[in-house]
Amino acid sequence: MASAAFVAPTRRLDKAVEAFMVWLLRIGGWASVLVTFGIIVTLVTESAPFFAKVPLIRLVKDTMWTPLFADPQYGIGALLAGTLVTTGVALSVAIPLGTILAIYLSEFAPARFREAVKPMLELLSAVPTVVYGYFALLAVTPVLQMIFPDLPQFSMLSAGLIMGIMIVPYVSSLGEDAMRSVPMLLREGAYALGDGKLGVALRVVFPGAFSGLAAAYVLAISRAVGETMIVAIAAGLQPKMTINPLESAATVTAFIVQVSLGDLPHGSLGYQSIFVAGSMLFLLTLGFNLAGHALRKKFHRAT
């Protein structure tokens, strides 16, 4: 007891510091919630006046998106079409390529090659998107124009292709992680039954890692839907209801950029329209992000 009485003062200080730090750290934890809250509140309050002026049905019924014109049209489908096409092109590059790379790196590549290549692949998603936009517009489009002579200067095809390259690492590294966490025993079982390497990869590892891979795909979709600079630079800024990747069309994100480049007064209908587009984008990506999170959790619980 005597010694306890002797240490008590510093102990009390320790406890006070502890209590203080818990509060400080908790504030940090809640800061992230505050950011989400800030995003949602801003989107809702800034786009609410828009819906007071424009009936919701026109978003679906109109076929053009021209909120800044004298005779405004509010068919948000025209923007969603652009997002759909560029995302589709990007995924048709990223999912097959990313999956093959994931299978190769996880099951076939020598360990040293894998460790050397992985960080280099991840650089692909670290390149600033404005640089990708430059590359798509000024390097890829001219090459594509040799194949499709009618391809306009701005096209969803070239923006989508480069966007696909950008998201390959999301698919390949998440996918590879998922495949590598499939237990060795399963592979050995299949080998014992006489299956080859590719057979094991496709019939045992791929199905075993599928929910992990699906999470990677879903996150890649979310990334493609929200990508802004590549499409704003290379796919064009004119909203158009088309599903032809050889044409130019604005995406939801490109529309926000286009409006932001001009100088719209706070509170005007044009200003509010970018928050409407933003809300659309938030809902879309929220759905994909939550699905991806759930799939990842499911996969981690399974392995």
Which part of the chain contacts other proteins (CB under 8 A), choosing from 60-68, 73-81, 225-233, 238-246?
225-233
Q: Select the residue interacting with other proteins from 123, 147, 184, 192 (CB under 8 A).
A: 123
Q: Select the residue interacting with other proteins from 196, 243, 268, 300 (CB under 8 A).
A: 196
Q: Is 152 in the site for other proteins (CB under 8 A)?
A: no
Partners of 65 in the beta sheet?
Answer: 74
Helix (H, G, I), strand (E, B) or coil at 88: helix
Q: Select the residue interacting with other proteins from 84, 124, 144, 186 (CB under 8 A).
A: 124
Q: Select the residue interacting with other proteins from 8, 48, 60, 130 (CB under 8 A).
A: 130
Q: How far is the CB of 150 from other proteins (least distance, A)?
A: 21
CA–CA dist 250, 235 (Å, integer):
7
- What is the widest separation between alpha-carbon atoms in the chain? 92
Full DSSP string of 143-172: HHHHHSTT--SS-HHHHHHHHHHHHHHHHH
Q: Select the residue interacting with other proteins from 49, 122, 181, 270 (CB under 8 A).
A: 122
Q: Is 154 in the site for other proteins (CB under 8 A)?
A: no
Q: How far is the CB of 71 from other proteins (least distance, A)?
A: 26
Full DSSP string of 177-191: HHHHTS-HHHHHHHH
Q: How far is the CB of 27 from other proteins (least distance, A)?
A: 7
Residue closer to other proteins (CB basis): 44 or 61 = 44
Quick one: which of 177, 152, 171, 166 has its CA closest to 236? 152
One-letter identity of residue 179:
M
Q: Is 150 in the site for other proteins (CB under 8 A)?
A: no
CA–CA dist 236, 141 (Å, integer):
12
Residue closer to other proteins (CB basis): 81 or 232 = 232
Q: Say if residue 249 is exposed, middle or buried (CB neighbours under 10 Å; 0-12, 13-18, 19+).
A: buried
**Binding residues for other proteins restricted to 5-64, rule: CB under 8 A:** 14-15, 17-18, 21-22, 24-33, 35-36, 38-39, 41-43, 45-46
Q: How far is the CB of 127 from other proteins (least distance, A)?
A: 7
CA–CA dist 153, 238 (Å, integer):
13
Contacts of 159 (CB under 8 A, 6+ apart): 86, 89, 133, 136, 230, 231, 233, 234, 235
Q: Is 119 in the site for other proteins (CB under 8 A)?
A: yes
Q: Are 90 and 157 in contact (CB under 8 A)?
A: no
Residue closer to other proteins (CB basis): 186 or 257 = 257
**Binding residues for other proteins restricted to 77-106, rule: CB under 8 A:** 97, 100-101, 103-105
Residue closer to other proteins (CB basis): 130 or 244 = 130
Q: Is 214 in the site for other proteins (CB under 8 A)?
A: no
CA–CA dist 234, 155 (Å, integer):
6
**Binding residues for other proteins restricted to 262-281, rule: CB under 8 A:** 263, 266, 274-275, 278, 281
Q: Select the residue interacting with other proteins from 8, 51, 55, 108 (CB under 8 A).
A: 108
SS (H, E, C) 19-33: HHHHHHHHHHHHHHH
Helix (H, G, I), strand (E, B) or coil at 93: helix
Structure tokens of 66? 């021209």
Q: Is 244 in the site for other proteins (CB under 8 A)?
A: no
Structure tokens of 263? 């100088």
Q: Is 191 in the site for other proteins (CB under 8 A)?
A: no
Q: Is 193 in the site for other proteins (CB under 8 A)?
A: no
Q: Say if residue 86 is exposed, middle or buried (CB neighbours under 10 Å; 0-12, 13-18, 19+).
A: buried
Q: Is 225 in the site for other proteins (CB under 8 A)?
A: yes
